[in-house]
Amino acid sequence: MIEDWDEYGFDTRAVRAGQHRTAEGEHGEPIFTTSSFVYRSAAEAAARFAGSEPGNVYSRFTNPTVRTFEERLAALEGGERCVATSSGMAAILSTCMALLRAGDHIVASRGLFGATVSLFDNYLARFGVATSYVPLTDLAAWEAAIRPETKLLFLETPSNPRMEVADIAAISALAHARGCLLVVDNCFCTPALQRPLALGADIVVHSATKYIDGQGRTLGGAVVGREQELAQVFGFLRTAGPTLSPFNAWVMLKGLETLGLRMRAHSENALELARWLTAQPGVGHVNYPGLPTHPQHALAARQQRSFGGVLSFEMTGGREAAWRLIDATRLLSITANLGDAKSTITHPATTTHGRLPPEKRAEAGIIDGLIRISVGLEDIEDIKADLARGFG
């Protein structure tokens, strides 16, 4: 059995890492649908409970299918350990619960995923953990926001829906100089395109619901990093219980096997669509890190393997023009989800970011004419033709 996956390429790890065949000799990974496990003797039960002998006890703690997913994702992110969670939000919650206590402080990028902001402001705040928000790309603002009690820096890159790109290496250096940990939500890129741990980040969190599943079937999440911090995250998870189900872990495992292929295809389609959009009538700025006009294009080219599957653009005719374009589509799904084989189209100002007060929305650059597309795996000519109906 292979233990050290470092010498293997990304796609090989995505297909193979973490599989532990049983005596049955199965080729595919089995789904262990069992809540608990049995022991050959009272002594073995005692040893498993004491942790002096490795092995499963209860699926809130560990499960073989979930473990295979965790080992495979750890190998892809280049982390010592991964723990899987029931959703992306459970991954972020578990990280915070494991590493923070009352009196601690978080510095986070503005424009994070809405539920993450709600978790920080409406729940962690109640337990004495405060959060300050800074513009994602402003290094001086990150530095100035760090206080003696700051424990975590938290960011998403590229950001949603403006697709701004943060310099992970530079922000890691800032965090470490002040004794903080950097947590990166790597949902938009996945390890196929970006490996934050290799750039200096301490912890990666995932909504596996998006590209890791890749086909919109299940919810899941994960935390990846060093043993030291991940042992604490695991401790919270086995106590509090937002663990990944074996079935969902199996779906995610199958997702990982095609992750490299899919991310290359998503990126290719998105780049082509971004270029095409810049030439369409009524379209203002197109936000996509793969375009040379993007303010962090050079950084994205250095930091990411390709530019990802999500883009946004402005309709100069405002909300009315944006809604007209959305309503003219027949193929694209009008939904806020992303990271699916199916292309999706969203009007952020009235959906994902609709609850923000207008001034916060303006601050985050969510103008009324903005449209976000998660470019799927359909034929690019069909995606263009579907949008062309609205431009015509």
Ligand X SMILES: *Cc1c(COP(=O)(O)O)cnc(C)c1O
Task: Candidates 207, 218, 243, 312: give the one binding ligand X (CB under 6 A).
Answer: 207
Task: Candidates 88, 111, 260, 290: give the one binding ligand X (CB under 6 A).
Answer: 88
Indicate the residue type of 232: Q
Alpha helices in the chain (DSSP H): 10-16, 42-50, 64-77, 88-99, 114-118, 139-145, 168-177, 190-193, 227-240, 246-257, 259-277, 297-303, 318-328, 358-363, 380-391
Indicate the residue type of 247: F
Residue 216 vs 282, nearer CB to ligand X? 216
Mutual orientation of helices 380-391 and 318-328 as an angle, nearest 10°?
A: 130
* Distance separating alpha carbons of residues 104 and 20, to the nearest angstrom: 40
Q: Does 289 sit near ligand X (CB under 6 A)?
A: no
Indicate the residue type of 94: S
For 320-357, the DSSP string reads: HHHHHHHHH-SSSEESS--SSSS-EEE-GGGTTTTTS-
- We find the least distance from the C-beta atom of residue 167 to ligand X, in angstroms, to be 18
203 in Cβ contact with 181 (< 8 Å): yes
- We find the least distance from the C-beta atom of residue 131 to ligand X, in angstroms, to be 15
Burial class of 279 by CB neighbour count within 10 A (0 to 12, 13 to 18, 19+): exposed
Q: Does 187 sit near ligand X (CB under 6 A)?
A: yes
**Among the candidate windows 25-33, 204-212, 287-295, 354-362, which touches ligand X by CB under 6 A?**
204-212
Q: Does 110 sit near ligand X (CB under 6 A)?
A: no
Task: Candidates 29, 77, 164, 185: give the one binding ligand X (CB under 6 A).
Answer: 185
**Among the candidate windows 68-76, 84-92, 189-197, 340-348, which touches ligand X by CB under 6 A?**
84-92
Residue 5 vs 120, nearer CB to ligand X? 120
**Among the candidate windows 87-95, 135-143, 284-292, 306-314, which touches ligand X by CB under 6 A?**
87-95
- We find the least distance from the C-beta atom of residue 300 to ligand X, in angstroms, to be 17
Burial class of 94 by CB neighbour count within 10 A (0 to 12, 13 to 18, 19+): buried
Task: Candidates 210, 266, 347, 372: give the one binding ligand X (CB under 6 A).
Answer: 210
Q: What are phi and psi of 173, to 5 degrees?
A: -60, -40
Question: Binding to ligand X (CB under 6 A): which residues in 135-164?
Answer: 156, 160
Q: What are phi and psi of 311, to 5 degrees?
A: -145, 165
* Distance separating alpha carbons of residues 7 and 164, to the nearest angstrom: 32
- We find the least distance from the C-beta atom of residue 252 to ligand X, in angstroms, to be 11
The SS3 call for residue 14 is helix
Total number of residues that touch ligand X (CB under 6 A): 15
Task: Candidates 62, 63, 68, 87: give the one binding ligand X (CB under 6 A).
Answer: 87
- We find the least distance from the C-beta atom of residue 36 to ligand X, in angstroms, to be 27
Q: Does 89 sit near ligand X (CB under 6 A)?
A: yes
- We find the least distance from the C-beta atom of residue 143 to ligand X, in angstroms, to be 24
Q: Does 196 sit near ligand X (CB under 6 A)?
A: no
Q: What are phi and psi of 303, to 5 degrees?
A: -90, -25
- We find the least distance from the C-beta atom of residue 115 to ligand X, in angstroms, to be 6
Q: Does 307 sit near ligand X (CB under 6 A)?
A: no
Residue 88 vs 255, nearer CB to ligand X? 88
- We find the least distance from the C-beta atom of residue 317 to ligand X, in angstroms, to be 28
The contact set with ligand X (CB under 6 A) reads 87-89, 113, 115-116, 156, 160, 185, 187, 207, 209-210, 219, 221
